[in-house]
Structure 1
């Protein structure tokens, strides 16, 4: 396996590791700072602003720094943020840590996705995102164990920060030889794509459709991962240890789905797989919304399996669907994903505070239905060969 691909896999693990911890930490964090449920929105928006800013510039960052150095710097930012979460005494400083974490995550996500989509098959792109889910599944398990052992939500972030420090060190060790070893192996270059004006990309209808799809997809994925623990413990009477395992299993189901479905995506066809996946996610959300504890947990896992191939397969389809607009489009998509991941869970917090926690299930169903509809429109707007025609 080429060294660049290996480092890309490790990068996606590091990207996922801190992302799902907040879902477990939030009830204790909210109590510690005497916050309402809706305050989660401020933290998610802060993270989203950082992510949006760095992902928009990711193409230029990859070109200027190379993937190895970008991973080192971005992982370092995430390390600082995680250790900041573990030590900060004030809520505004916690939001600042979220901004720093977003800057690191956005650069890793958009940069690696742009490279992977242009150079690897849909199978590898799914597996790369499965590595993200490995990190995202481990995060809640580490946070739950730390919370049960120490009684503090901060200890989970301290452990994640230490792990990220080790990963940052590993990236720093190999970054100097990263580009040279990739070239010696005859691998692809680190900065894919042909530069085109940003305004030209924004005139493409399919660019906007994909932006909307990524907005809804990531909002749904993060909303289920973020609020399932709180909904199960505070509204359905599930023990925190059990709810923490279910939260980890949700992210794990996305990871397993990406590994398994990555094996068949080339034979089934990307668009056909995505159509089946969006319907499966919708069914899972319905079960999660209407079911009590155990049926709701089954629906959560089913939704995870349905969501599994959507993000990576859509990313892998982008070069064929949008051609020379790919680099800009992937930056837009990654940014839209983070905005969706901030806005929709924040909306869930507002609804939880005003209507009640079960309203989050209803919001998940509506979001999943919108995701299915927009993807159908996207498929019908794409020529059979999936090439860009200026539509």
Structure 2
């Protein structure tokens, strides 16, 4: 794969990531952090698209001047540097909102000034020979073009150093997936700084009459691709990881509630929507399952036998001496008995003789009731007592 192909692949991946984040932005358009992430991903994708050698040649032809693409690419890179620093400011947050806004304005103003200076220096300089891969070193000694190259590299180095220091510092203060994202950004920023060092070395070599152009035209290109992917991934990992973690927790609770849902399923009213298919969002399926459970528990209230609840509670408490666990087991037994009683057209208890099920308010309580339904020997005994006798043996 050529450098141009690698740049196009990186641009494609970043455009896909931008499209995914834009969907989230449409749902929450007022989120400044989300706007900054979308801008960062889009500008990064645009940078890789513009920096591909074949596109540099096309831009030169379109503009009608050799090397005109150079200040364009440098301006896009500078814009990306500014956006990333703003994103870090927004991501970090601060109790003083005015300070955050002031830091954001300062950063944007400084990088906007650099972006304005780059094309001016290019227009005032002289770069008549088109160079698609080694522009920085070829014109390292050309007045004003030299200053343009040093200016964009300096702005890039400031951004890289800022990202590296801030991310390493903040990574020590936060846990989990956010820390992983910050470490990835720090690693990418370190690579970005390495890119600048390679460029500086190649340019300085030209100033001293030596030729180390390969550091700029080959090594720096390779480093820039890896570092950009790491930085983009670092910003994407925390939100994606949080969504994945939430989905996993929802799926786990959905499965844990299965014994309770199977117990009450015969009593789910036919007017309730049918259970959603596996292809639907697990959070929606979990919400539906919890709603069905609460609905049926409410309907079964008249069949909750206080005598059954008290007996199971006493037996469970005597066995393991945990009041909450005993209560959950008693609730599970009462629900199982109520389902059987309603199916058999059993007696309806007056309010004074009804057991009040209390372990269904908290989601985690529901999970423990479901576990008791699956494991409790007392619940199995209630089911066994209600089972019809088997055929008589001869």
What's the TM-score, normalizing by structure 2? 0.29
- The higher relative CO (CA closer than 8 Å, separation ≥ 6) is in 1
Larger Rg: 2
Q: Which structure has the highest helix share of the two?
A: 1
Q: TM-score, normalised by structure 1?
A: 0.29
